Amino acid sequence: MSALTFPPPPVSAEAEILRTEVRAFLARELAGVPAIRKAESWSGFDADFSRKLGARGWIGMTFPKEYGGHGRTALERYVVIEELLAAGAPVVGHWIADRQSGPSILRFGSEAQKRFFIPRIVAGECFFCIGMSEPNSGSDLASVRTRATKVDGGWRINGTKLWTSQAHLSHFMILFCRTSGTVEDRQNGTSQFLVDMKATQGLSIRPVNALTGEHHFNEIVFQDAFVPDDALLGEEGQGWHQVTSELAYERSGPERFLSSFILLVETLRMIGTAPTERAAVAIGRIGAHLVTLRRLSRSVAGMLQGGENPATQAALVKDLGALLEQAIPDIARSLVAIDPPTEATEGFAEVLAYTTLHAPSFSLRGGTREILRGIIARGLGLR
């Protein structure tokens, strides 16, 4: 498989039937929700909504039935998540668990871990956060310093995690940390743990507010925090291998090109149904990007379903997607004047401001643009 292999995405009639069901559900559930709430995209939190999705069978869709999953295809899951994102549904509660924690547990977890976690995730009642970044270990994940030391009956953890989105709302974290060796050993000697965010003694959560003042991020300090033996996920020392296998899931989904979608909808509302030539060209260009990105992203979903690890292709999707998401606010403001303020532009201006302020994060979270381009260069054989 070359770096530029993008097989045609799978097609499925069942998935399209599912799409109409999801649309009807969302039309009901999100009726009356203002655009500014929808613009939060996959940063919006609503535990009740997550539970409702779980009840509909739309969380853990690809997880095997024997663990309470729904045994559906990656394409069916793709349809559900892209519909949720395009509608601006508040999904962040269950998002990480559905996207990567659940699949990691299924892949590397013990039988008991699968029996415990998967049904709860599927119900939309067990939220996960990602314990990867640290104060001095952001893009350079292999320089991780947080350490778990073997003690009687479990592990004692010391260190600090940073930029942990939704940690304060999550029930569990998949912690990536060192279990042997030193920072100089890089990828070797790392492991993953399933850490109970509510019950673990010696774990404290401190908010790190974003530039908007919102609380999404956290700093998590582990001070002699004890986790039992059965918290180890997978094999001791295999943390790097396990964590990197999550990344294609993390980078290629529709959340990597739909973060500004609600702003695009509101821009179109301002432009109206008979746009000027300039507006038509601008909107059409974004549409052309979205249509091609969606094809690439669905192609990666097909490869993941087939058991491949298309890390380079996922990085290509995320790099292109973030560029588009970040271009949309500028295009929107070039098409709709917000000064002087009017009643008609008030709602649009709010969504524009929200998206403009969040746009810098689009090429930081989930792997910075620079890291992604390094991965692509490696995929091309340059390093």
Partner 1 sequence: MLVETAERLFGDAVTPQVLAASERGGFAQGAWDALEEAGLHLALLPESAGGFGVGTAEALSLLRVAGRHALPLPLAETMLAGWLLSRADIAVPAGAMTLATGPGLSLGADGRLTGTVRGVAWGRHVRAIAVLLEDSRVALVEGGFTVVARENIAREPRDTLTFDTMVSAMAVSPVSAADLRAAGAATRALLIAGALERITGMTTQYALDRTQFGRPIGRFQAVQHSLATLAAETAAAIAAGDIAAEAVGEAMAIPAIAAAKARASEAAGIGAGLAHQIHGAIGFTYEHSLHYFTKRLHAWRDEYGGEAEWSALLGRHLAAAGADALWPTLTAI
CA distances from 272 to 34, 276, 288, 383 (A): 19, 9, 19, 49
Q: How far apart are CA 249 and CA 253, in angstroms?
A: 7
Tell me how far, at minimum, the Cβ of 5 lies from partner 1, in Å. Answer: 9
Member of 1, 4, 24, 55 binding partner 1 (CB under 8 A) = 4
Q: Site mask, partner 1, residues 276-305, x = CB under 8 A? A: -x-xxxxxxx-xxxxxxxxxx--x------
Member of 76, 134, 246, 319 binding partner 1 (CB under 8 A) = 319
Tell me how far, at minimum, the Cβ of 50 lies from partner 1, in Å. Answer: 21
Indicate the residue among 203 and 248 with the shorter CB distance to partner 1.
248
* Interface with partner 1, residue 320, by CB under 8 A: yes
* Interface with partner 1, residue 339, by CB under 8 A: no
Q: Site mask, partner 1, residues 50-69, x = CB under 8 A? A: --------------------
Member of 205, 271, 338, 357 binding partner 1 (CB under 8 A) = 271
Q: How far apart are CA 289 and CA 319, in angstroms?
A: 13
Query: For residue 15, what are its two tokens?
Result: 């998935």
* Interface with partner 1, residue 36, by CB under 8 A: no
Query: For residue 178, what are its two tokens?
Result: 């060192």
Binding residues for partner 1 restricted to 150-179, rule: CB under 8 A: none
Tell me how far, at minimum, the Cβ of 165 lies from partner 1, in Å. Answer: 25
Q: Which helix (H) or strand (E) holds 269?
A: helix 261-271
Residues 117, 123, 125, 128: is their CA dihedral positive or negative?
A: positive
Indicate the residue among 3 and 359 with the shorter CB distance to partner 1.
3
Member of 128, 261, 354, 362 binding partner 1 (CB under 8 A) = 261
Indicate the residue among 61 and 296 with the shorter CB distance to partner 1.
296
- Which span (1-9, 129-137, 176-184, 357-365) binds partner 1, by CB under 8 A? 1-9
- The residue with tokens 């095997």 is 64
Q: Which helix (H) or strand (E) holds 191?
A: strand 190-196
Indicate the residue among 132 and 264 with the shorter CB distance to partner 1.
264
Indicate the residue among 241 and 378 with the shorter CB distance to partner 1.
378
Helical spans, DSSP H, in 157-260: 239-251
Query: For residue 329, what are its two tokens?
Result: 């606010």
How many CA within 13 A on the CB side of residue 26? 20
Q: How far apart are CA 3 and CA 378, in angstroms?
A: 9
CA distances from 6 to 2, 23, 245, 254, 291 (A): 9, 28, 19, 16, 15
First-residue to last-residue Cα distance in the chain: 17
Query: What's phi and psi for 99, nearest 5 deg?
Result: -80, -50
DSSP secondary structure code for residue 33 in this structure: -
Under the rule (CB under 8 A), what is the footprint of partner 1?
3-4, 6, 8, 19, 23, 82-83, 86-87, 261, 264-266, 268-269, 271-275, 277, 279-285, 287-296, 299, 313, 316-317, 319-320, 370, 372-374, 376-377, 379-383
